[in-house]
Chains A and B, each alone.
Chain A
Amino acid sequence: MHPIDDNRGMPGPLAEHLRAPATKAAMLVQQEALQAARDFLRGRDFTELLPPLIGPVTDPGGRGAKALDVDYYGNPYKLMTSAILYKQASLRGFEKLFYIAPNVRVEPVETASTGRHLVEFHQIDVEIAGATRDDAMEVAAGMLMFVVERVWQNVPDVLRGLGRDPIVFHELLQGGFEQVTHADAVERLLGQGHPQSPDAEIDWIGEELLSHKADRPFFITDYPKGSRGFYDREDPDRPGLLRNFDLIAHGGYGELVSGSERESNYATIVTRMRESGENPAKYSWYLDMAREGIPASAGFGMGVQRLVRFLTGLDALWQVSAYPKLPGMVAP
């Protein structure tokens, strides 16, 4: 059986799930991980803001995930799929900022069995004014290493109780995460007989295949335009490629982080919106701000539940959420 062909079980009734020892262990790991992430970022002069929950627009995202609609005094508002637009806007007052942000994405039903998708999830959402992609990648890698080390220091018994062995993280803690371009990743997958499209996101199976081959996390960079949102900056020297990255965990756990340098030029943002099928008129507050000037930046989001699943080694993302909502399943 292919690793993601099974359903990795499904959550039982909520009361049962909340009582489960694995849920309790996951929450202990989660709180350590969040505390460590905060300590790491605060130690580097980041300011924590609390993100907005609704707005006239949200991150249009990709991969077929939909935003939920909210009626806001008669105006059609969206629940945040990510607060990326607000992160960029906030750079005007805060040069280095982060959120622990709740997000809601109505993912396609077929993602219910990947073990890596929840409708409600959280991100450690980081943005740095004036930063390059390399700067953002360095922060993401540093934060991951810091969190892993701290969690093993503080709750080793919990991790061992879940069957986790520190040896799994040995290479990670040495750092030196490899960087592969999207084009090389596609090449590798095609070489393994996996039919990966060269101008799309690495698909779930492909990502998992690459993840299984690695002994520590690694970056995939230079995704093609058309696979990501309009805010990921296009490489001026290599049109068609984005100055972005994903950080992929080893061991089959897949993507932990997605980040990029951002577009900050008004005309480029409008054009990129059209290229991704968006109606610029919807984004008026953001575009007005972009016209006045948004600082150049780079940043990323690290999925909290994906991080905790990676730390705990649990099979599916729903096991590390107290209140899991799987795509396509109606749950409290």
Chain B
Amino acid sequence: MTSLTAHGFPEQHVRARARNGTSEVFPPAGSYGAQLFGATIDELDEARLVPPVFMPQRLEKLIELGREPMHDDVDLTTGIGGFRAALPVYLSAFGSTRAGSGDLSVAASRQAARLGIPMVIGENMVPVHGYRRNGAGSAILARIREYMDACDDATGGVVVQQSTEDADCEVWHLIYTDPTVQPLLESGRLAFELKIGQGAKPGLGGMTVVGAQEAQRLAGRFAVREVLGEGGWLRCASPGTFTEEIVRQQLRFMRNNFPKARVWVKFHPGRDIAWAAATAWRAGADAVTVDGAEGGTGWAPRVFLDQVGLPLHECLRRIGRPEGCLLVSGRMWEGARAVRSLALGATAVGLGRAALLAVDEDPDEGLIRLVDCLALEARLLVSALGKYSVAALGPDDVWLPQSTQERLAEPVRIGAPA
């Protein structure tokens, strides 16, 4: 190395790539499983909730109650994708990633059930961990059982994702025909989620880091690539190919094949998100989940973490008034971001990284306490807006910074480009 320098140029990054090769495309492999990834602050955080002075809906509540309404009069119960939930909150998918499929995810399942909120189980669990009935090693069944043991008989529900590689293992068939899952099916609390995209890496499939031995084992089902240097192997799932017609037909197929299960769809924050969401609702999806480009539990190339995909706020803007149940996730953890999302069109918000951190803090009560905080904040905020149900929230409740308002004036286009 000479004394060559390049001020104002990302010299250190260039040198690191020259030194270490393709492993520099990713975060340090040593942090996989111990670190969650994502952006820090976005426009949705910069928006403010703006209570009015005059509150006709508070008057309605006053008349209904015969006394002045308080924040605990806010009804947070919500219909989420065909389920009844105690709160407008669900447990987001974390799948086969190391952070998402260990004891933490089982603890999160139990607490989600106690909270009466739906739980989404992420993709690639079965191709990676297998599906053994009555077997201790089945990560997916461990989570479902934990949920079923702790839930009441009316609220919440379990949602199982399926990706292209999952389809090879017929995950939905396995779940749908498993006698131990029948109570969920019979009580209308089983849904299948078609996984179309990754929030943290729009346009790509799921990625994890695996050791050389596991890479060999998984090579038949996934692409495994040696691009991380000595840090391990990169396991890539295919993103799957989708067109409007493919989405429409796959949803019809799901409804036809699994008539007792609810149908959910998860999109990455694509630039055609409004068109995609409308396609899904019109094909009968009970819920559309949009995962904003805000990071996640898995693994993503550095360039995707902060340079690819629409921010969640922009997704909400493009979708406008949703035609059906819209679920959003990305950096959710407290009441204000949740209530802003609900006011801008979402039906419920998903907890991903926050849920894992909470159960990591306390595997027995961590998520419950976190959600209690969120619920209390939500009640305070919604009542401050002079409203007493989540459904009553609307875009007027949110004030956006000037730059965002200007963009809001642009028309939202739904449908195929001309």
Residues of B within 8 A of A200 (CB): 252, 255-256, 259
Assess the B258–A64 pair: CB atoms within 8 A: yes
Do A62 and B177 touch (CB < 8 A)? no
Residues from 58 to 112 in B contacting A, C-beta threshold 8 Å: none
**Candidates B164, B248, B257; contact of A279 at CB < 8 Å:** B164
Residue picked from B170, B242, B249, most chain A C-beta under 10 Å? B249
Given A108-B177, A227-B252, verify A203-B257 contact (CB < 8 Å).
no
Given contacts A64-B173, A109-B179, contact A279 B250 (CB under 8 A): no
Report the stretch among A27-35, A251-259, A270-278 that lies at the interface: A270-278
Chain B interface: which size bin?
20 to 34
Bound together, the chains give a CA A110 to CA B260 distance in angstroms of 10
Instruction: Give the secondary structure class of A's interface.
Output: loop
**Nearest Cβ on chain B to A275's Cβ, whole angstroms:** 4
Q: Is A328 an interface residue (CB 8 A)?
A: yes
Q: How many residues of A contact B (CB 8 A)?
A: 28
Q: Are B168 and A274 in contact (CB under 8 A)?
A: no
State the Cβ distance, A234 to closest chain B Cβ, in Å.
10
Query: Which A residues, 199 to 214, have Cβ-Cβ distances below 8 Å to chain B?
Result: 199-201, 203
Q: With the chains together, A328 CA to B241 CA distance in Å? A: 34
Complex: A275 Cα to B164 Cα, angstroms: 12
The answer to whether B177 and A64 have CB atoms under 8 Å apart is yes
Q: CB of B410 within 8 A of chain A?
A: no
Contact with B along A140-160 (1 / 0, CB 8 A): 000000000000000000000
A275 lies within 8 A of B255 (CB)? no
Interface pair B256/A278, CB less than 8 Å apart: no
Interface flags for B160-188 (1: CB within 8 Å of A; 0: not) read 00101101101001101101001000000
Partner of B256, one of A66, A201, A328: A201
Check if A55 is an interface residue, CB within 8 A of chain B: no
Evaluate contact between B260 and A62: CB separation under 8 angstroms: no
Check: A131 CB closer than 8 A to any chain B CB. no
Q: Cβ of B53 < 8 Å from any Cβ of A? A: no
**Complex Cα distance A131/B54, Å?**
73
Q: Which residues of B contact A274 (CB under 8 A)?
A: 240-243, 246, 250
Nearest-neighbour CB distance to chain A for B228, whole angstroms, equals 24
A194 located at the interface, meaning its Cβ lies under 8 Å from any Cβ of chain B in the complex: no
Which B residues, 229 to 263, have Cβ-Cβ distances below 8 Å to chain A?
238, 240-243, 245-246, 248-260
User: Do residues B256 and A275 form an inter-chain contact, with CB atoms below 8 A?
Assistant: no
- Check B173–A66 contact: CB distance below 8 A: yes
Which of A65, A67, A110 gathers most chain B CB within 10 Å?
A110
Bound form: Cα–Cα A197–B174 in Å = 25
The answer on a CB contact under 8 Å between A67 and B165 is no
Q: Are B170 and A64 in contact (CB under 8 A)?
A: no
- Please tell me if the beta carbons of A276 and B179 are within 8 angstroms of each other in the complex: no
Q: A224 on the interface (CB 8 Å rule)?
A: yes
Assess the A62–B249 pair: CB atoms within 8 A: no
Residues of B within 8 Å of A109, CB to CB, are: 177, 179, 182
The answer on a CB contact under 8 Å between B165 and A203 is no
Taking the nearest CB of chain B, how far is it from the CB of A284, in angstroms? 13
A63: nearest chain-B partner, CB-CB: B257
Distance in angstroms from B144 CB to nearest chain A CB is: 17
- Supply 25 A–B pairs (Cβ within 8 Å), ascending by A: A62-B257, A63-B257, A64-B177, A66-B173, A106-B177, A108-B177, A199-B256, A200-B255, A200-B256, A200-B259, A226-B249, A226-B253, A226-B256, A227-B252, A227-B256, A274-B241, A274-B242, A275-B245, A275-B250, A276-B250, A277-B250, A278-B167, A279-B164, A279-B167, A279-B168
Q: Which 6 A-B pairs have the closest CB atoms?
A: A226-B252, A275-B249, A66-B173, A200-B256, A64-B257, A226-B249
B interface residues, Cβ below 8 angstroms from A: 162, 164-165, 167-168, 170, 173-174, 176-177, 179, 182, 194, 238, 240-243, 245-246, 248-260, 284
